[in-house]
Amino acid sequence: MKLRKVTAASAAVLALALTATACGSDDKDSDSADTGSGGSKKITIGIKFDQPGIGQKTPQGYEGFDVDVATYVAKQLGYSANQIQWKEAKSADRETMLQRGDVDFIAASYSINDERAAKVDFAGPYLLAHQDVLIRADDDSIKTPKDLNDKKLCSVTGSTSAQNVKDKLAPKAQLQEYPTYSACLTGVQSGQLDALTTDDSILAGYAAQANFKGKFKLGGFKMTNENYGIGVKKGSDLKAKIDTALEKMVADGAWEKAVTANFGPANYKNEPAPKIGNIVK
């Protein structure tokens, strides 16, 4: 299902197809909704590829909390796991990917905020995280967020993390913006950078990676509230369907299972499941 530019006639057909999909969404056997006249259908979902515990491409496939949430949602929309096409959605590209119709939805550590909500719609939220810092384990010079002000700090272009540093958290820090968090991590490891800042949910996953054991620590600062939503194209009727799917995921225990499976290994202490539509400022 690609929501590309459509004519009025094909929009009507598309609307019907979506309705049909929704009707089938409660079936235990979701395959019944997959065998439409158009042959094998696909859904395209944007995730992160380099965030262990959240969204990661591995030799075995795709893993992480966002991957599990997206897979559950896709199933509710009538798509089985093998009908999902995963696409990398880097922080700076997410709104454009949705606006262009490159993906049907995005679950990629994607914080809901007003600026983004002017361009795309959000279902959720489905996780509440907080901005934190990751530093080398032997670094005792960063004890409070204020200590970041004369440091070489790294974050990602187009992220709320970079924006928050500039706006309020540490305006005097020497902020470097990279395309991905994994690129920042290499710099912190080598000593070229002092700290990496983004959501604690992401940083916990990096610090717990087998090859980094004992090398990094988190500040534990909880500097902001990051309400993760699922992004869809503005005006898409997928928003309401995804909200329903997320509610079901929490109610039937699949949300908690995904939390344990993905955040357990990193020992990340997550917040309880958010209520749909309840954004913590």
- With CB under 6 A as the contact rule, the residue among 66, 177, 226, 243 that binds ligand GLU is 226
Closer CB to ligand GLU, 47 or 208, in the complex: 47
Residue 84 is inside which H or E element, if any?
strand 84-88
| Residue 156 contacts ligand GLU per CB under 6 A | yes
| Residue 197 contacts ligand GLU per CB under 6 A | no
The residue whose two tokens read 């369907």 is: 241
| Residue 160 contacts ligand GLU per CB under 6 A | yes
| Residue 109 contacts ligand GLU per CB under 6 A | yes
Phi first, then psi, for residue 31 (nearest 5°) are: -60, -25
Which residues from 41-100 bind ligand GLU, rule CB under 6 A?
A: 91
Distance CA 32, CA 227 (A): 34
Note whether 73 and 245 are within 8 A (CB): yes
Residue 144 gets which letter from DSSP? S
Closer CB to ligand GLU, 79 or 263, in the complex: 263
Q: Determine the interface stretch with ligand GLU among 39-47, 79-87, 118-126, 158-166 (rule: CB under 6 A).
A: 158-166
Distance CA 6, CA 82 (A): 26
| Residue 224 contacts ligand GLU per CB under 6 A | no
| Residue 223 contacts ligand GLU per CB under 6 A | no
Distance CA 150, CA 246 (A): 42
- With CB under 6 A as the contact rule, the residue among 199, 230, 239, 249 that binds ligand GLU is 199
| Cis peptide, bond prior to residue 125, ω within 30 of zero | yes
Shortest Å, Cβ 116 to ligand GLU: 8
Q: Determine the interface stretch with ligand GLU among 69-77, 108-116, 235-243, 253-261 (rule: CB under 6 A).
A: 108-116
- With CB under 6 A as the contact rule, the residue among 25, 44, 111, 244 that binds ligand GLU is 111
Closer CB to ligand GLU, 18 or 156, in the complex: 156
Sign of CA dihedral 106, 112, 118, 121: positive
Note whether 103 and 46 are within 8 A (CB): yes
Summarize the chain as % helix, strand, coil (round to 5): 40, 25, 35
Residues found near ligand GLU in the complex (CB under 6 A): 91, 108-111, 156, 159-161, 198-199, 226
